[in-house]
Amino acid sequence: MTLDKILAIGGRPGLFKLLTQTRTGLVAESLLDKRKITVGMSSNVSVLSEIAIFTLEEELPLRAVFEKIYSKEDGAKTSVKHKDDKLKLEEYFFEILPNYDEDRVYVSDIKKIIQWYNILHDNGVTDFKEPEESTDEKKEV
């Protein structure tokens, strides 16, 4: 399972795996309790591979942040919990990403990132590398 198939759905806790797209929306499965849900087109749905975190220089893809957490924790779950106090969460995130933009990355964002990483870890999703593009080039005739 790649981050291209994992969704965050506004108003719903946790993460979801995209099962299929329908004419009126999509069908997804919760990574928390494995329940299937249907989501209409009017819902706020974000694909994890499309999310980025603000740094002082650029926007860093979420997969790169997950890779940094994975490296820091030696492949384990995070040493902090998403419900820890604000100062502890900010200190932890500063260790992971020392140049994150403190004015645009809120504690609520840090909580989500930590919670999402742990959910992905629980579901065996720990390969956060960018999927490699096919090197086969189409030849024109």
Per-residue model confidence as pLDDT tens for the chain (141 residues): 789 999 999 999 999 999 999 999 999 999 999 999 999 989 999 999 999 999 999 999 999 999 999 999 998 999 999 999 999 999 999 999 999 999 999 999 999 999 999 999 999 988 887 766 544 444 444
Residue where a domain stops, chosen among 18, 33, 48: 48
Domain of residue 17: give its range.
3-48
Which CATH number covers residue 10? Answer: 2.30.30
Same domain? For 61 and 40 the reply is no
Same domain, 83 and 97: yes
- Answer for the pair 36, 27: CB distance below 8 angstroms, yes or no: yes
All residues at 6 or more sequence positions from 124 whose CB lies less than 8 Å from its CB, including other chains:
1
Using DSSP, state whether 61 is helix, strand or coil.
Answer: strand
Please check whether residues 115 and 62 belong to one and the same domain: yes
- Residue 90, domain CATH: 1.10.10.1650
Total number of domains in the chain: 2
